[in-house]
Amino acid sequence: DGGITQSPKYLFRKEGQNVTLSCEQNLNHDAMYWYRQDPGQGLRLIYYSQIVNDFQKGDIAEGYSVSREKKESFPLTVTSAQKNPTAFYLCASTQQGGGTEAFFGQGTRLTVV
């Protein structure tokens, strides 16, 4: 079945540690996105990539980094510079171009311990 796979489902980070969240899609979509979800707030865009080897900052990129070396993969690293990383992280993808449907993974819940 085509879809988006995020791993791990749960992740715990110690203070000062970098962690990487995985996102893989087999939908052959060109564009991929990372959103952060906090209670009582709408999803906020962290980074997005429209094509391999290119990505742009979203609304809340500080303390995060990404790479897009393969079309199907868009990993997100939460660095120690992110002061409040505890949240639910969602990866999404769309076909290139406007008017296309967005598909989401099942999310990764990151907790600072």
Partner 1 sequence: KQEVTQIPAALSVPEGENLVLNCSFTDSAIYNLQWFRQDPGKGLTSLLLIQSSQREQTSGRLNASLDKSSGRSTLYIAASQPGDSATYLCAVDYTGTASKLTFGTGTRLQVTL
Instruction: Summarize as ranges the residues that interact with partner 1 (CB under 8 A).
Output: 4, 6, 30-31, 33, 35, 40-43, 45, 48, 50, 58, 88, 90, 92, 94, 96-107, 109
User: 15-21: long-range contacts at Cβ-Cβ below 8 A with a sequence spacing of 24 or more?
Assistant: 15/80, 15/112, 16/80, 17/80, 18/77, 18/78, 18/79, 18/80, 19/77, 19/78, 19/110, 20/75, 20/76, 20/77, 20/78, 21/75, 21/76, 21/77, 21/78, 21/89, 21/91, 21/108, 21/110
For the bound state, the minimum distance from the C-beta of residue 16 to partner 1, rounded and expressed in Å, comes to 27
**Nearer residue to partner 1 within complex by CB, 78 or 90:** 90
**Nearer residue to partner 1 within complex by CB, 58 or 75:** 58
For the bound state, the minimum distance from the C-beta of residue 71 to partner 1, rounded and expressed in Å, comes to 14
**Nearer residue to partner 1 within complex by CB, 19 or 35:** 35
For the bound state, the minimum distance from the C-beta of residue 2 to partner 1, rounded and expressed in Å, comes to 13
